[in-house]
A and B are shown apart, each in its own frame.
Chain A
């Protein structure tokens, strides 16, 4: 009954919107039979996806109670029974978590690296995209872009090898570059000081080609007339970039950066796990919340601590996304995510 009422209201709304009352009226009359069959077909199409989303994303959300208890899995009782019969311990796991130096290090690293990534992912691809758009030979530009996009497709376990080939004791840097410069060998995998630079390099190496595509598409969407008008008025190339290109890229840049700000609490597990190869000596500069959660669970088996860190990350991350969206909605409602 309620559904039919809702269905009745919807075409009514469309009358005002589209301005085709006759069509909507036809839809209204047919709704009861044809529309219900159609909706059933739609629900059937959605079913497999909904099922996977429930298993993969919504069922684990019940698990937010795990950090508040001393979770013990009882094989005979099964998952749900274990979940609801484990001893409740309140905020004990969180107390341990926030006292642990490792967690604080991981949090600081996650946010600091992400801030650097946000800035670099803004500056580097935009600068490169502008350069590319000004090249005489656009075929060449396309070739460069193709080459720069390739690292995006190298699997992370292979990237680990790539880093290793440069940084290990027999690697290119220790055996070829440093002797040329007359310097001593560096044991990269035990010296945390070098890792921020290495991590940032591999981040740019992997993602620049991807971001470049977005900005090149945005630039090629700018009408040539703006540039011609500016040039006729005597604007130099720099002035054209400053007063035409950059303002036109603003929306894209803001949206991409906001998405990144919303994920500031989510580290790039693939990068931070594979490139430093999860070596404990260099955790001080390579540990992020994601690798911390993983190590606590898989390597140390501390379910409470790992679950607490995971929930802490998810909650703060979610709050930041909503905050971001709230701010955008205030400033520019069209750019808001939801």
Chain B
């Protein structure tokens, strides 16, 4: 008995020596946890509200407004948008095309641009780095930028315009260059060169396999950027058939009566339209893929952000 108490006592002592030296008090720890729980609730509540509204019945929305726990649940909003919205499926498809083609192309171009910049024996590397970096300091402004695409290249109202402007991003080039500097040892490149490999061979067979994490990070940056973009559509797209999901979402809130007047919605659907709930359901569907894959890609983003911040 005495022995046991002594042992317990010793254990506590040992624990405090090894693990609890210089730690905040239990009360502070509790307070910090409480603060973060409250902040997390504050941060997630807006998203939860949107999800809840999308599952609310029309009657409950009309009577009680938007609530975190609706008086009556139903799935009419989702049934409605899947049944009648040809536009939704089409815009979803456009988003998938733009996002996949755009991300693959952008990652390739950025990796190709970053690789020479990461090589210390390329004498113009600083010049080309500045060529990319200068675009973040000065720009011609919105008007000439729009005119170059709409009047010179004349690619407004096409899927190309939703891809080209985001293919290069100076920050991502700098992040990719840092990744390459960190993970591709100069000696290995030199060894490959002595073995007779050309620069392209070295790039594809030595450099790229070594910085898979960097490629994945940039690729995920691109995926999220292309998927979440509404801005290019806002400026360049008028054609209904080229709407992406985010712009479709935007246009629905922008014009409350959009569904009511859209030619693709049959009259019978218009009559029992759960419009408020349907719009929130649309929002859920538009952000769904990003939110569900978030746990898997989070760590790549964290890595990329830290690499970018370290470089300044």
Contacting residues, chain A, for B122 (C-beta < 8 A): 38-39, 42
Q: Is the CB of A314 within 8 A of B249?
A: no
| 0 or 1 for each of B91-128: is its CB under 8 Å from A? (1 = yes) | 00000000000000000111011011001011110001
Q: Does A25 contact B (CB under 8 A)?
A: no
In A23-56, the 8 Å CB interface with B consists of: 27, 35, 37-39, 41-42, 44-46, 48-50, 52-53, 55-56
**Alpha-carbon distance between A157 and B50 when the two chains are bound, in angstroms:** 13
Q: Is the CB of B306 within 8 A of A213?
A: yes
Interface core residue of B23, B46, B128, B294 (most chain A CB under 10 Å): B46
9-residue interface stretch from B6-14, B64-72, B76-84, B258-266: B64-72
Q: Does B250 contact A (CB under 8 A)?
A: yes
Q: Is the CB of B224 within 8 A of A49?
A: no
Q: Does B209 contact A (CB under 8 A)?
A: no
Q: Is the CB of B65 within 8 A of A175?
A: yes
Q: Is the CB of B142 within 8 A of A297?
A: yes
- For residue A197, give the distance in angstroms from its CB to the closest CB of chain B: 14
Per a CB cutoff under 8 Å, which of B67, B142, B173, B235 touches A306? B142
- For residue B287, give the distance in angstroms from its CB to the closest CB of chain A: 5
**Alpha-carbon distance between A158 and B95 when the two chains are bound, in angstroms:** 15
Per a CB cutoff under 8 Å, which of A80, A214, A306 touches B305? A214
Q: Does B5 contact A (CB under 8 A)?
A: no
Q: Is the CB of A155 within 8 A of B290?
A: yes
A-B contacts besides A57-B135, A154-B47, 9 pairs, CB < 8 Å? A56-B148, A64-B141, A131-B32, A134-B24, A134-B32, A158-B249, A166-B66, A213-B305, A297-B143
Which residues does B use to contact A, with CB under 8 Å? Answer: 21-24, 28-29, 32-33, 35-37, 39-40, 43-44, 46-47, 49-50, 53, 61-62, 64-68, 108-110, 112-113, 115-116, 119, 121-124, 128, 130-133, 135, 137-148, 151-153, 164-165, 167-168, 173, 198-200, 203, 224, 227-231, 235, 246-247, 249-250, 253-254, 276, 279-280, 283, 286-287, 290-291, 294-295, 298, 301-302, 305-306, 309, 312
Which residues does A use to contact B, with CB under 8 Å? Answer: 6-7, 10, 27, 35, 37-39, 41-42, 44-46, 48-50, 52-53, 55-64, 66, 73, 78-80, 82, 128, 131-132, 134-136, 140-141, 144, 146-151, 153-158, 160-166, 168, 170-172, 174-176, 205, 208-210, 213-214, 217, 227-228, 231, 237, 252, 255-256, 259, 269-270, 274, 277, 293-294, 297-298, 303, 306-307, 310-311, 313-314, 317-318, 321-322, 335, 337-338
